[in-house]
């Protein structure tokens, strides 16, 4: 496939803006051709207008046709897999093995949503039948279900160029709810974004749907992102990235005459607490696993463990110090992320009561980051707000506490996180129940005797958490529940059955699970 550097608007190429965006190979330190066109305000408007026109058709398609579209997208990605993986590897420095697995995850979640849509019960149909003889007032017939909201804007993430990008979970869940999607491609991997976007557009065309069901625009300037969010036809936003960028989009959405929801997944320190029983039984093994989790993929995971907390952890400190000191440098996604990482590490290192261990030297000509371990006591950690902020990369802060009270003080000081991990025994869990309650209030996913890196794509997954991990802790960006972000409830009162959506009609013609007069049933 020839990569053109153009925007794709309703399935059509468009290149009105200047070609100023280039991919970059972080392993070789080289710019990649071709140049990509920054979307103009006119192109953004056309993309949203096309999406709104397509919405009138797409919102009414059958569940079978919607599921078929998602399956076709997965197949189209598979057909471009070799080229897509190779280009993504060039633009990110991530290995082809890692990206092949990520492509499988991307296709798998599309097919997962196809299954959800095909089964149909996700619309949460609720029926309360009329009771005309009820006293003192008759009860009306009320029937409620979830419906699509309209054009969804999706912002691709830098660290997952496939699974959280153009064809990723936000796009899959937006389409599954029968909403057109407009993607703002991440400028760090524009070539991979175009390949994926063309696969989606081809699947839309093969499904006989309007081209406006999917569009993709390029943009390195914040102005492009803000224009997409501020456009009056945009109905919701899905975003994965930094706190700064996510908050800027959220604030822009709130300033609109008609505010819209922004589902932003942002920074998270993902604390790991090591309790005494686990420390006594397996300190060395836990330290090995922690080093691997912190440095995996050069630490470029939203679930990277950025804080490790233990009680009287001399053995843990000794183990981690040695492991981090011998850790090789890792390639980061692009120079901008490396600069931000080095700035964060530098700010940590300047704190007076913090000691640092750095990993192996980085090659000067490559975009490489050295691993960093910082050690501090509970008092120092509580006294330095900077240590409680994410440093995106292979860095963690080890906090040594003298007792239960300090352990719980550290937990209370933390902001909202995507994950929180506890290593311990069953006895530890019983003795530190208060700590578990503190952490459950701070996080979206509580992990026992494991590591936070790695997010299983399944219906029960919760990938979200209290602010600043996300802008809305009630929702997830991974798993089938992600579809709920892009739907809204509508209730129909006293309508004849023939005028209702199929999901709410008498006789349950679709055979889905519904709540009827308070009871879950398929009757």
Q: Which residues are known catalytic residues?
A: 265, 302
Query: 156 CB contacts (<8 Å, ≥6 apart)?
Result: 164, 165, 166, 168, 183, 184, 185, 186, 189, 193, 240
Q: How far, in Å, CA of 475 to CA of 147, rounded?
A: 17
Cα dihedral angle (68, 190, 104, 197), rounded to 10 degrees? 10
User: Cβ(104)–Cβ(78) under 8 Å?
Assistant: no
d(CA 57, CA 204): 13
CB 483 within 8 A of CB 177: yes
Query: What is the C-alpha separation between 350 and 220, in angstroms, rounded?
Result: 32
DSSP 55: H
- Give me the phi and psi of 441, to 5 degrees please: -80, -15
Grouping H, G, I as helix, E, B as strand and the rest as coil, residue 466 is: coil
The residues, any chain, with a CB within 8 Å of residue 67's CB and separated by 6 or more, are 114, 115, 117, 118
CA angle 318–323–326, rounded 5-degree value: 130
The CA-atom distances, in angstroms, between 109 and each of 162, 185, 259 are 11, 19, 29
Q: Cα 231 vs. chain centroid, distance in angstroms?
A: 23
Residues 73, 197: Cα–Cα separation, whole Å: 10
Q: Return d(Cα 456, Cα 428) in angstroms, integer.
A: 26
End-to-end CA separation in angstroms for the chain: 50
Please list, in sequence order, all residues whose beta carbon lies within 8 angstroms of the beta carbon of residue 351, skipping any fewer than 6 positions away: 376, 380, 384, 386, 387
CA-CA distance, 508 to 145, in Å (whole number)?
Answer: 13
DSSP per-residue letters across 155-178:
E--SS-TTTTSTTSHHHHHHHHTT
């Amino acid at each position: 496939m020839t990569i053109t550097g153009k925007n794709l608007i309703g399935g059509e190429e468009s290149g009105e803006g200047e070609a100023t965006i280039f991919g970059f190979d972080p392993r070789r330190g080289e710019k990649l051709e071709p140049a990509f066109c920054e979307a103009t305000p006119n192109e953004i408007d056309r993309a949203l207008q096309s999406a709104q026109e397509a919405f009138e058709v797409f919102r009414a398609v059958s569940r079978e046709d919607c599921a078929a579209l998602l399956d076709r997208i997965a197949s189209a990605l598979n057909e471009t897999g070799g080229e897509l993986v190779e280009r993504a590897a060039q633009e990110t420095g991530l290995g082809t093995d890692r990206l092949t697995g990520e492509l499988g995850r991307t296709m798998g979640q599309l097919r997962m949503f196809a299954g959800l849509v095909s089964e149909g019960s996700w619309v949460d149909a609720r029926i309360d039948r009329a009771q005309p003889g009820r006293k003192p007032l008759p009860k009306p017939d009320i029937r409620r279900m979830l419906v699509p909201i309209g054009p969804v804007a999706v912002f691709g993430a830098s660290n997952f160029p496939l699974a959280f990008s153009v064809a990723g979970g936000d796009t899959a869940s937006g389409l599954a709810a029968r909403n057109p999607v407009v993607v703002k491609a991440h400028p760090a991997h524009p070539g991979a974004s175009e390949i994926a976007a063309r696969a989606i557009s081809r699947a839309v065309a093969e499904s006989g749907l309007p081209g406006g069901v999917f569009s993709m625009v390029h943009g390195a300037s914040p102005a492009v992102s803000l224009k997409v969010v501020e456009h009056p036809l945009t109905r919701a936003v899905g975003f994965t990235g930094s706190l700064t960028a996510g908050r800027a989009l959220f604030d822009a959405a709130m300033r609109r005459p008609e505010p819209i929801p922004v589902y932003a997944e942002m920074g998270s320190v993902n604390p790991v607490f090591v309790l005494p029983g686990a420390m006594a039984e397996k300190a060395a093994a836990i330290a090995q696993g922690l080093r691997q989790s912190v440095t995996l993929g050069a630490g470029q995971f939203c679930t990277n463990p950025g804080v490790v907390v233990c009680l009287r952890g001399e053995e843990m400190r000794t183990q981690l110090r040695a492991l981090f000191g011998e850790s090789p440098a890792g390639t980061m996604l692009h120079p901008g992320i490396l600069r931000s990482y080095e700035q964060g590490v530098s700010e940590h290192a300047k704190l007076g009561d913090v000691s640092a261990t750095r990993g192996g030297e980085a090659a000067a000509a490559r975009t490489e980051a050295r691993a960093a371990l910082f050690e501090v006591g509970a008092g120092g950690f509580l006294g330095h707000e900077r240590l409680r902020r994410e440093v995106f990369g292979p860095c963690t802060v080890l906090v040594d506490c003298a007792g239960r009270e300090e352990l719980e003080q550290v937990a209370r000081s933390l902001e909202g996180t995507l994950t929180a991990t506890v290593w311990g025994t069953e006895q530890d869990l019983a003795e530190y129940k208060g700590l578990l309650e503190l952490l459950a209030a701070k996080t979206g996913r509580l992990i026992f005797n494991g590591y936070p890196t790695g997010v299983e794509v399944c219906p029960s997954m919760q990938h979200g958490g209290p602010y600043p991990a996300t802008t809305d802790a009630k929702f997830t960006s991974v798993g089938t529940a992600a579809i709920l972000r892009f739907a809204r409830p509508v209730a129909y009162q006293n309508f004849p059955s023939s005028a209702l959506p199929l999901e709410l009609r008498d006789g349950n013609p679709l055979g889905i699970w519904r709540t009827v007069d308070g009871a879950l049933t398929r009757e």
